[in-house]
Amino acid sequence: MKRRKLGSSGLELSVLGMGCWQYGGGSYWGNQDQQDVDQVVHQALDMGINYFDTAEVYNDGESERSLGLALKGRRHEAIIGSKISTANILPEQLRKHCEDSLQRLQTDYIDVYMLHWPVNPLAVKHFTSDPELIANPPQVAEVFEGLQRLKQEGKIRHIGVSNHGVKQLGEVLQTGASVAVNELAYSLLSRAIEEELLPYCKNQGVGVIGYMPLQQGLLSGKYHALDELKPILARTRHFHHSRGLGSRHGEEGAEPEITQALDQIRLLADELNLTMGVLSLAWAISNEGITSTIVGSRNADQLMGNAHAAQIELSADVLRRLNEITQPVLRKLGNNPDYYENRHNSRSY
């Protein structure tokens, strides 16, 4: 399993990381057996996967708890990334929530502790109904002072952010905090970060972890029509706003462009004797600007398929063809990396 340096942090992450959102089970992904989690985590470690990505909001903390159980006895082999909700960053809350995550993970330190979304009213509103906090979120400097104190105390090794745009990441860096990573959506159908955000992170020495490389299953090959998607998985700007359960963006989507792209990706995968999911994941991993690409594996079979993608070297011609196939989707959706909100009223900018 290849590894890449995470910005200027000194950490080296496996190019394929483990997304742990489904761990612990919950309403979004359904039940998840702990025995399967244990098996997947141990097998991942055995094959050289060392990055495990979770968050306090994933299944109300049960993802962290499940990961902690699975890593028992092998914690020293893993790099754990967890995230704190933007609703829990007031000074008196920040420490408690970090300590709660440590307890659930059964560890003394978190390797990379990330602010899940930027500090702004729209991002806060998504995680709380507290009108005072929504109207008056803390200052960015105040939040990162708190994170730096946790780092000085050894509770976290590195500070990170997630879903931050160029301007927002710049504001964080101006606080003097050393930022190890910006975790961002990146897939064949979600390429918004390529033009501006990815180069900016590189220039600032900030690593990038890519999430949602299979577009929540759309690029896995198991769907043959958009109508087969569960409405809760169709909330992003990729889809017409009427399709997704809880959709907030109000946009028209890029459904014709996506349908055409999926057909062409499937044909190319068949030509290469690969599954559509393996091809899509291999494309994401091939971008050396992405330190680690995280994907969920619910069982050992899924893990083996995902690991296969990390071993594939796609030719320059195949990469070019995939980029051309999905360029119409990129043009339609634009360069805003927040796919859940309207691009003109976004949490990320």
Q: Is there a contact between 125 and 134 (Cβ–Cβ < 8 Å)?
A: yes
CB atoms within 10 A of CB 187: 23
DSSP 258-321: HHHHHHHHHHHHHHTT--HHHHHHHHHHH-TT-SEEEEE-SSHHHHHHHHHHHT----HHHHHH
Q: Is there a contact between 185 and 153 (Cβ–Cβ < 8 Å)?
A: no
pLDDT band at 100 (very low <50, low <70, confident <90, very high): very high
SS3 76: helix
SS3 113: strand
Q: Is there a contact between 47 and 15 (Cβ–Cβ < 8 Å)?
A: no
**b/e for 221-259, b at 16 or more Cβ within 10 A?**
bebeebeebeeebbbbbbbbbebbeebbbebebbbebbe
Which pLDDT score, from 0 to 100, does residue 92 have?
A: 86
Q: How many whole angstroms separate alpha carbon 48 and alpha carbon 283?
A: 20
**b/e for 53-81, b at 16 or more Cβ within 10 A?**
bbbbbbbebbbbbbbbbbbeeeeeebbbb
Answer yes or no: is pLDDT of 91 > 90.
no
Q: How many whole angstroms separate alpha carbon 21 and alpha carbon 23?
A: 6
247-288 confidence digits (pLDDT tens): 999 999 999 999 999 999 999 999 999 999 999 999 999 999
324-342 confidence digits (pLDDT tens): 999 999 999 999 999 999 9
Which pLDDT score, from 0 to 100, does residue 29 have?
A: 81
**Looking at the DSSP assignment, which residues form a beta bridge with residue 296?**
19
All structural domains of the chain, each given as residue ranges with its CATH number in brackets, are 3-215+285-313 (3.20.20.100)
Least confident of 26-40, 102-116, 196-210: 26-40
Quote the percentage of the chain above a pLDDT of 90: 96
> pTM for this one?
0.96
175-194 confidence digits (pLDDT tens): 999 999 999 999 999 999 99
DSSP 5: E
Which pLDDT score, from 0 to 100, does residue 30 have?
A: 84
